[in-house]
Structure 1
Amino acid sequence: MRFYSFGNEDNPVLFLLPGTCCHWKRNFGSVIPFLQQDFHVVCVSYDGFDETEPAVFPDMLTEAAKIEAYIQENFGGQIRAAYGCSMGGSFVGLLLQRGNIHIGHGILGSSDLDQSGGLSARLQARLISGVLHGVFQKGRLPGWMQKRLEKKTPEERAYMDRMLALFGVGTADMAFVQKKSIYNQFYSDLVTPLGDTISVPGTAVHIFYAVKMGGQYEARYRRHFKDPDIRRHDMQHEELLACYPQRWADEVRHCCEMTALDTA
């Protein structure tokens, strides 16, 4: 695991946690310039998804412990905020639930927080890892997926192109990622339990809720977190981050200016 820092070290610390099988730079490279003036930004690069080290992603809990150890060693166990993109939101929830560090503002970016049983999780992980590993090796979508994409409206296509760029589609940048890392990350996210009504004194939880994902996700957020600050956007999954980086950064900044009492 690697950690990449940007901005003045005297600024409040903001951790950025990538989404499923995403490279830290592709996930957050477009928004870091909008954040580093006000924050000391730290991007997490998961085991198995950083080209500078030969590693395989182990599981969510092992990675969470490494993040905690880094925060304890470098920031006295406390940071202002952590933003989790998609699956990264599961990490934010786990870090709050475990209580080994303190995060003032936990922000989830339209995370789905899917959980599944062992057999179902293994089948899903096997399917996803097979498809994604092929995409990473070739740097492009398989033909059947490309044909489906071409049938989308121009607006849908623009959004999908931005989202695919987060995965490195269009380049061979992610060819170093092992299939085992993809499988382990996807599977571990599904089977690692996240508690209900998580509440930490002095911590505010903010949810960037992409309304077009469906109402079941808001219900899920309210089940897992007590009194979360739900920020509705009439958008699709992580569309705010992928397509509107300045607006996304403003939203993150506003969350971090709030106190826990502001969300009650």
Structure 2
Amino acid sequence: MKVYCFGEKEKPVIFLFPGTCCHWKGNFGKVIEPLEEYFRVACVSYDGFDETEQTEFPTMTEETEKIEQYIKKEFGGHICAAYGCSLGGSFVGLLAARGNIHMEYGILGGSDLDQSGKFLAKLMTKLMMPVFYPFIANGEMKIPFMKKKMDKMLAEDNGYIRAFMDMIKTPDVDMSHITKRSVENQFYSDLITPLPDQIDPSGTQIHILYALKMGEKYRARYKKHFAGPILHELDLQHEELLAVYPDDWVKVIAEICNRKQGDCAARFKIKGS
């Protein structure tokens, strides 16, 4: 695991956690520079997904422990904020639940927080790998009917699908070094690693950028896992704010962390609840 830091050391620190099998540049490359106006930015590059290392992703728990150790060593165990893109939200939740480091703001970006038993998780992982792994490693869609479906979606796309795909398969980063085992481990481990209910860390506000187009069931899920989360309801799709409107995403994050006053939320029909 590596952490890439940007910006002035004197500013409050925000950690950014990529989504499932994503490269940190694909998720956050467009927002690092504007975030530097408000924060010292630390981007996590998971084991198995950094091109400068020969590693494989272990488990969510082991990776969380490494993140905690890094924060303790480099930042005295305290950071201003942590943002988790999709699967990255699971790391934010685990950090909040374990209580080994302190963050003032934990922010989840439309994370689904899916969990299942080991048998179903193994089955889902096995079914996903023929589709997911070739795309992650080489940008290829091997299964004909899936390729046809993706081509149709891109033809009808208004910008979201292409932007979201670029977040997963970063155009200017060679991801062929990623092993199938790393992809399997991350996908499977995220499903079976339990996230406690009613997480309520002292001195930490939990915020969730709730993409309403994901479905209403996620509201109950967020309120199940966190005690009193602040839901920012967006009339958008999963991680659409980050993928399609990166400058506005930065403004929303800065507003949540009280680094900026503004009304960016109104544009996306966001309200805190």
Alignment TM-score > 0.5, same fold = yes
Measured after TM superposition, the shift of residue 201 of structure 1 is 1.4
**Code of the aligned partner of 2:231:** I
Note the C-alpha offset of 1:166.
1.1
Partner residue in 1 for 2:214: 213
Question: In the alignment, which residue of structure 1 is the partner of 2:200?
Answer: 199
Aligned residue number for residue 46 of structure 1 = 46
**Which string of whole-angstrom CA distances, capped at 9 and with x for unpartnered residues, describes residues 146-205 of structure 1?**
321233376645211111111216567211100000000000000000011110111000
Instruction: Give CA-to-partner distance per residue, 1:27-64, whole Å, 9 cap, x none.
Output: 10011111012100000000000000000000000000
SS of structure 1 residue aligned to 2:257? helix
**Structure 1 match to 2:81:** 81
Q: Tell me which residue corresponds to 1:102.
A: 102
1:22 deviates by 0.1
Residues 21 and 185 in structure 1, CA contact (< 8 A), matched pair in contact too: yes
Does residue 29 of structure 1 match 2:17? Answer: no
Asked if the contact 2:97–2:199 (Cα under 8 Å) also holds between the matched residues in 1, the reply is yes
- 1:229 paired with 2:230, answer yes
TM-score, scaled to structure 2: 0.91
Paired residues of 1:81 and 1:107 also in contact (CA < 8 A):
yes
- In the alignment, is the contact (CA less than 8 A) between 2:86 and 2:239 conserved in 1? yes
Name the CA distance, whole Å, in 2 between partners of 1:181 and 1:27: 18
**Residue 250 of structure 1 aligns with which residue?**
251
For 1:173, the equivalent position in structure 2 comes to: 174
C-alpha separation in 1, matches of 2:97 and 2:83: 15
Compute the displacement of 1:130 (Å): 2.9
Q: Which whole-Å CA distance do the structure 1 matches of 2:87 and 2:224 have between them?
A: 17
How many correspondences in the alignment?
A: 260
Give the 3-state SS of the residue equivalent to 1:253 in structure 2. Answer: helix
Matched residues in 1 for 2:200 and 2:29: separation?
A: 31
TM-score, L = length of structure 1: 0.94
SS of corresponding position for 1:257: coil
1:91-132 Cα deviation digits (max 9, x unpaired): 000000001000100000000000001110001112223322
TM-superposed CA distance for 1:257, in Å, is: 1.0
Corresponding residue SS for 1:56: coil
The residue that corresponds to 2:269 in the other structure is none
Partner SS state of residue 151, structure 1: helix
Shift in CA distance, 170/152, structure 1 to aligned 2, threshold 3 Å: same
Q: CA RMSD, aligned part only?
A: 1.7
Distance 1:81 1:118, change over 3 A: same
Aligned to 2:160: 159
Structure 2 contact 21–136 (Cα < 8 Å) conserved:
no
Q: Is the 8 A contact 1:93 1:194 kept in 2?
A: yes
Contact 1:150 1:157 in 2 (8 A): no
For the 8 Å contact 2:77–2:102, the answer to whether it is kept is yes
**Distance in structure 1 (CA, Å) of the matches to 2:149 and 2:158:** 10
How far apart are the structure 2 equivalents of 1:212 and 1:124?
23
Percent identity over paired residues: 51
Which sits farther off after the overlay, 232-241 or 129-138?
129-138
TM-superposed deviation, 1:144:
2.5
Q: Give the letter for the 1:11 counterpart.
A: K
Report the AA paired with residue 220 of structure 2.
A
Q: Distance in 1 between matches of 2:86 and 2:79?
A: 20
- Shift of the 29–118 alpha-carbon distance from structure 1 to 2, 3 Å rule, reads same
CA distance in 1, matches of 2:19, 2:240: 13
SS at match of 2:51: coil
Q: Which moved more, 1:249-258 or 1:89-98?
A: 249-258
